[in-house]
Structure 1
Amino acid sequence: MMTSFSGYLPYAFALIVAIPFLVLLRQFVHSYVNLKNQELKLLTVKSGSENKTHAYERMTLFMERIKPSNLIQKFDRDLAVHEFIFLTEKAITEEFEYNASQQLYLTKNAWKNIADSKAAVIALLHKTYEDLNNNPSLEEFKTVFIMNYINGEDYIAATMEDLRREILILI
């Protein structure tokens, strides 16, 4: 009976040595996989936060660009008023459409305020032109346009302030 057991002795010894090694290897692999999953989650959260921050930055820049004080500095001084209005409206609309994907990262309220501000600037361009009946020069139009904005509600500043408040909550 001894002879039959002695044939299995090397296998039993190998099994006794291998089992703790396999248990430790399993624990190591399990811990490694858990750490990698946590790392991926952190990177995903960080990336999402960066996207939101970037969206707020881009839309703040858009708001800055559509301020009437910045708009009047665009384009050639030799343009007719209707050409200036057309080019300005086109530039605002194109930049707004270019940034449309940013609404994925903004609150609905922030996006609505931005869209409303854009529409208000365009409406102010047209209203100013309609109010000036006597074919004004471009300089006269720009002056009245700025004055109308200054004398009205500063919706761009309000929108930018809302964006600042929201981004502080996100950070």
Structure 2
Amino acid sequence: MEDKIVEGLAYVLPALVTGGVAYYILSAFIKQDNNEKKFAALLEKKKESLPIKLQAYERMLLFCERINPVKLLIRVNPIGDKTESYLHLLIANIEQEFEHNLVQQLYISDDSWKAVVATKLAIIAKLRKISETSETAIELREKVLINYTKEENPTETVVAFLKQEVKKLL
């Protein structure tokens, strides 16, 4: 009887070891295959989303160029002589551009979005500050142009930041 048990173990033990090794190898192979599929899906997703992200960064660069005070003043002429009405016209233009590009925040990084918003707010604050010492719309225009030729323009800073973000994507 003991001989039959030992003889049975002699047959069962190698079969169990072989089965265990086969199970281990197959599970490792399946795991590797699943990882490769996940990686391929991730690459495909990134490949599909990259053009959308790049387009969003392009839109934000265009937005920054359009709210650049020097270019904004060239594009938006004063309607009358009142400083306050010209200031409201400039701010309305900036806000309209901003609202037009609001959805782009979905596709750009949080830091990029914060930089764009901070630039917009800085430009509006500077326009308001300069308007306080201006008596006419033309004087406001001249003071803004002079001010932004002397100081670094916030739009240039954010454009450089956005370009660095795009380089990270590529």
TM-score (norm 1): 0.69
1:131 alignment partner AA:
T
Change (3 A) 1:154 1:78: closer
Q: How big is the alpha-carbon RMSD for the aligned residues of Structure 1 and Structure 2?
A: 2.1
Q: What is the percentage of aligned positions where both structures have the same residue?
A: 31
Match of 1:93 in 2: 95
More off after superposition, 147-156 vs 61-70: 147-156
2:64 alignment partner AA:
M
Change (3 A) 1:86 1:77: closer
Counterpart CA distance in 1 for 2:67 and 2:44 is 34
Q: Aligned with 1:157: secondary structure?
A: helix
Structure 2 counterparts to residues 1-171 of structure 1, below 5 A: 44-79=45-80, 80-132=82-134, 135-136=135-136, 138-171=137-170
Count of aligned pairs:
132
Any idea what the Cα deviations from partners look like across 1:1-42, whole Å, max 9, x if unmatched?
A: xxxxxxxxxxxxxxxxxxxxxxxxxxxxxxxxxx9xx6x766
Counterpart CA distance in 2 for 1:98 and 1:77 is 23
CA contact (8 A) 1:56 1:167 kept: yes
Q: Aligned with 1:72: secondary structure?
A: helix
Any idea what the Cα deviations from partners look like across 1:26-78, whole Å, max 9, x if unmatched?
A: xxxxxxxxx9xx6x766533221011100100000000001111111233444
Displacement after TM superposition at 1:106 (Å): 1.2
Change (3 A) 1:77 1:154: closer
- Unmatched runs of 5 consecutive residues or more in structure 2: 1-36
Displacement after TM superposition at 1:90 (Å): 1.0
